[in-house]
């Protein structure tokens, strides 16, 4: 961890005014939640790749519930990730994973926003999911339930389904990018370990939205969900149209 990054992030958090921290443009139910922003964002990182976030290690067996037809031969453990069945847009077979190599025919999680967190936790321990408590602790399960209930961000009205282009204020996005992201990702969003951000944002804006909102599993990247959905949309619009795709 680079020391200057810590300073930048600490300074940043001082400038987040209460108005900006208002989560009102995410989901209606988020307003009344007693769940902490920490728990919701951590739940988001578990949703992304729980075994990296909670450091339990990659599962060494295939997920028996993963549909065998058209099995996605991804990296080991991929079939245990929530996102692999329910999608980066949380819409399952109604969303981006309705077709292509990740298609599983799994339902989306929109209706689960109406369940209680206890009900969601029970679903994670059910026969379909079969997450044992050595895979997900009770705290992990609660964070996942809080994310599922309060943390889903819907950008279907701001993404063009065909071109995947996101509507947002690019000029604002540039300011956010250069002051928040560039310190780690560079002004061009290119780093040796990951695909260029310009490429990822054009291929999968939902994944980038999820990462910006919740952070990267077990990593130093901050979760920006409290800054609100518009900040994220502006960022993605800027990255899509201005950063190099390769
Ligand atoms: C192998 C595919 C698969 C994975 C991985 C998976 N799910 Fe599911 N999920 C399903 C299926 C199939 C259903 C519907 C049947 C059921 O509820 O058991 C479902 C249902 C749900 C529901 C209930 C939705 C509703 O409207 O009733 C919730 C909540 C849920 N999953 C959350 C999660 C979370 C959180 C994770 C990650 C920790 C996860 N799922 C991982 C396949 C998966
Ligand atoms: C404190 C440093 C830091 C900051 C600030 C930061 N990131 Fe990250 N980000 C990371 C690290 C580290 C990774 C993981 C890279 C890896 O896995 O090799 C990452 C991963 C990502 C990924 C996923 C890449 C992939 O292929 O999995 C995206 C997208 C992303 N960051 C976007 C952003 C955006 C947009 C911002 C600004 C809002 C931002 N990050 C701010 C450190 C940071």
Total number of domains in the chain? 2
Question: Looking at residue 17, what is its pLDDT?
Answer: 39
| Test site for ligand 1: of 85, 114, 120, most ligand atoms within 8 A of the Cβ | 85
Question: Looking at residue 71, what is its pLDDT?
Answer: 63
| Test site for ligand 2: of 52, 194, 228, 236, most ligand atoms within 8 A of the Cβ | 194
Same structural domain, 72 and 88 = yes
Same structural domain, 192 and 134 = no
pTM for this predicted structure = 0.91
CA 216 to ligand 2 centroid distance, Å: 6
Same structural domain, 71 and 106 = yes
Cβ atoms of 67 and 104 closer than 8 Å? yes
Same structural domain, 132 and 176 = no
Same structural domain, 88 and 186 = no
Helix axes 37-53, 205-214, angle to 10 degrees: 110
Print the domain residue range for 80: 33-151
**Structure tokens, 39:** 């728990």
Same structural domain, 47 and 116 = yes
Can you give the CATH number for the domain in which 193 is found?
Answer: 1.10.760
- 189-216 per-position pLDDT tens digit: 998 888 999 999 999 999 999 999 999 9
Question: Looking at residue 21, what is its pLDDT?
Answer: 38
Question: Looking at residue 191, what is its pLDDT?
Answer: 84
CA 225 to ligand 2 centroid distance, Å: 14
Phi and psi at residue 191, to the nearest 5°: -145, 150
**Structure tokens, 101:** 């190599």
Same structural domain, 214 and 145 = no
Ligand 1 site, residue 123, Cβ cutoff 6 A:
yes
Instruction: Output the ligand 2 site: residues, CB below 6 A.
Output: 5, 180-181, 183-185, 193-195, 197, 200, 208, 211-212, 216, 219-222, 224, 235
Q: Which of residues 92, 127, 151 is at a domain's end?
A: 151
Same structural domain, 188 and 140 = no
Q: Which of residues 125, 151, 177 is at a domain's end?
A: 151
**Structure tokens, 186:** 């560079």
Same structural domain, 123 and 164 = no
Cα distance between residue 93 and residue 90, in whole Å: 9
Task: Pick the closest to residue 63 from 51, 53, 55 (CA basis).
Answer: 51
Q: How many CA atoms lie within 13 A of 241 on its CB side?
A: 15
- Give, for 38, the enclosing helix (H) or strand (E): helix 37-53
Q: Which residues of the chain fall below pLDDT 50? A: 1-4, 6-30
Within 8 A by CB and 6+ apart from 80, the residues are 50, 51, 59, 63, 135
Question: Looking at residue 24, what is its pLDDT?
Answer: 39
- 156-176 per-position pLDDT tens digit: 999 998 999 999 999 999 999
Q: Which of residues 151, 185, 200 is at a domain's end?
A: 151
Ligand 2, closest atom to CA 235? 35
Ligand 1, closest atom to CA 127? 18
Same structural domain, 9 and 66 = no
Same structural domain, 79 and 63 = yes
Same structural domain, 160 and 190 = yes
């Amino acid at each position: 961890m680079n020391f200057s990054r810590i300073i930048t992030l600490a300074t940043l958090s001082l400038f987040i005014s209460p108005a900006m921290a208002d989560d009102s443009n995410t989901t209606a139910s988020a307003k009344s939640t007693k769940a902490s922003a920490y728990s919701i964002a951590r739940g988001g990182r578990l949703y992304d790749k729980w075994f990296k976030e909670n450091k339990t290690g990659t599962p060494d067996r295939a997920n028996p519930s993963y549909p065998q037809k058209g099995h996605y031969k991804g990296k080991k453990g991929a079939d245990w990730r929530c996102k692999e069945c329910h999608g980066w847009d949380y819409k399952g077979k109604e969303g981006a994973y309705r077709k292509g190599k990740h298609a599983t025919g799994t339902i989306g999680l929109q209706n689960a926003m109406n369940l209680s967190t206890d009900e969601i936790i029970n679903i994670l321990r059910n026969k379909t999911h079969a997450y044992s408590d050595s895979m997900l602790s009770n705290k992990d399960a609660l964070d996942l339930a809080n994310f599922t209930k309060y943390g889903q961000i819907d950008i279907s009205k701001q993404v063009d389904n065909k071109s995947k282009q996101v509507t947002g204020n690019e000029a604002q996005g540039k300011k956010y990018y250069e002051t928040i992201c560039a310190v780690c990702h560079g002004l061009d969003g290119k780093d040796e370990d990951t695909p260029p951000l310009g490429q990822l944002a054009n291929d999968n804006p939902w994944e980038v939205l999820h990462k910006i909102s919740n952070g990267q599993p077990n990593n130093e990247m901050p979760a920006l969900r409290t800054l609100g959905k518009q900040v994220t949309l502006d960022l993605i619009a800027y990255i899509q149209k201005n950063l190099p795709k390769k």
